Structure 1
């Protein structure tokens, strides 16, 4: 049975050119990436052990092995942190779930107070499944035409695949969907992700299933939204990770251009955040 850690390692090995890690290229390769034996040798582990990790049969490699694999693949700092996170959730850390894999939708009061301080900014509390757990009023004004908030328990990932309004509202819907599907591999736990994936696969079909087979991080693109009242709005996203016991994060949408700032002034009746004073 595959695992998030194994999927990532296999995909990254397949996409890493030998010369990128100091190995000589050869024309006799059947695939362009690293051979399993080459990665195992560079990491100082056996091929049999690497095979077990990639196939999900060993889900608890040591910190030393994970660091060795990161070095062997020449991962940068953020990629190495991503590898360690996958190791954590693959090893069975079930954070923030209830019942049959359902993640909790409760948000701690201090987090809600923090969200309130972000008004009139555009922000939400979410998790890696895409649940919208709490949001600012400005977020509602921006997102309401998409239909996202019509659901009793809004979920961004599900919305992108099952609501035709999302395909019109998100101008780069495919790229945003890629990002949301990739995040499913990151928790809040492997069991929660498995439950959600099984549920959405039945409803979303091939479009969703095809994206599940892509194991490398997609590019992080701005959100370009076709708002019926404010025109095209473009937002950069800043993610504030909460403690791991919450398995939640605050996502803040920041206007990326002057047109978006003007559009937000229309939506918020001029109540835009004042610039912060630095120093």
Structure 2
């Protein structure tokens, strides 16, 4: 099969490999020092030997020639060049190979630090940040008290799907809970997609299948739902009936989903204000 990638992309790949090679010293990869070198970093033949590939093949790869590259060989080159996970991801992208998204970290301090000010600014609208499998990563004060006091739930159980299918009190907050159940499972299957091989997604699905026969039955239907906007009715234990519009946006690099809940009527708007006031007084 002929490499059909544009020449500019092949050159970008070659330049990326060259700069990664030039930043390494023989000592860093366990090779003996051989005195002064005319160019910085490792030689092409040294990288080729460490990766277990031919010198000519690797040279052509750096030169941006139209050659075929397999995932196995490319990852061997990445290991030889001491690439980190982000650099390996970039290498795959430049080579035109299938690109699995990185697995979201449930409790990434840097991610929370970046999003928390945004969530807080969106009050009085309940807003949260979730992984594709519904793990709650961060939320504002309005969301904290929407169903219960979220801070009182152990971090490992702070998952909207787990709470919905295992906690009757949580589920009772939804007016149309049967519809929500069907849509939630279909949405989760669409969101995790091919990521079911990742530890986080697989663990969440397995936990739900073990704890909820209803989830297991709905999951086995393989229904898919892709929708970033919907309206739901919730019975807040603090302020009563809320008619909310759910709007979600996604981060392209980690797959996290930020959901903002805005009022669908004036009564809900007033109740959200009261909810936020309660949350402020509770702190």
Instruction: Give TM-score, length-normalised by structure 1.
Output: 0.55
Which runs of structure 2 are paired with 1:48-59 in the superposition (5 Å)? Answer: none
- In the alignment, which residue of structure 2 is the partner of 1:232? 241
- In the alignment, which residue of structure 1 is the partner of 2:274? 266
Kept in 1: contact 2:176–2:233 (CA 8 A): yes
**Aligned-partner Cα distance in 2 for 1:250–1:218:** 15
Match of 1:93 among 100, 116, 129: 100
**Aligned-partner Cα distance in 2 for 1:239–1:140:** 18
Distance 1:92 1:209, change over 3 A: farther
Match of 1:200 among 197, 208, 228: 208
Question: How much has 1:135 moved relative to structure 2?
Answer: 0.2
Deviations 1:16-36 (A, max 9, x none): xxxxxxxxxxxxxxxxxxxxx
**Aligned-partner Cα distance in 2 for 1:227–1:104:** 26
**Aligned-partner Cα distance in 2 for 1:172–1:221:** 13
Match of 2:251 among 227, 237, 242: 242
1:223 aligns with 2:232: yes
1:176 aligns with 2:180: yes
- In the alignment, which residue of structure 1 is the partner of 2:192? 187
**Aligned-partner Cα distance in 2 for 1:183–1:95:** 19
Which range moved further: 113-122 or 256-265? Answer: 113-122
- Aligned-partner SS, 1:224: strand
Q: Size of the alignment, in residue pairs? A: 173
Instruction: Give TM-score, length-normalised by structure 2.
Output: 0.54
1:152 aligns with 2:155: yes
- In the alignment, which residue of structure 2 is the partner of 1:104? 106
Question: How much has 1:218 moved relative to structure 2?
Answer: 7.8
1:129 aligns with 2:133: yes
Kept in 2: contact 1:241–1:249 (CA 8 A): yes
Supply the RMSD in Å over aligned alpha carbons: 2.7
Match of 1:163 among 164, 167, 172: 167
Which runs of structure 2 are paired with 1:52-71 in the superposition (5 Å)? Answer: none
Question: How much has 1:236 moved relative to structure 2?
Answer: 0.5
Kept in 2: contact 1:238–1:253 (CA 8 A): yes
Kept in 2: contact 1:239–1:251 (CA 8 A): yes
Kept in 1: contact 2:235–2:242 (CA 8 A): yes
**Aligned-partner Cα distance in 1 for 2:99–2:204:** 16
**Aligned-partner Cα distance in 1 for 2:121–2:263:** 18
Q: Unmatched 5+ residue regions in structure 1?
A: 1-90, 98-102, 272-279
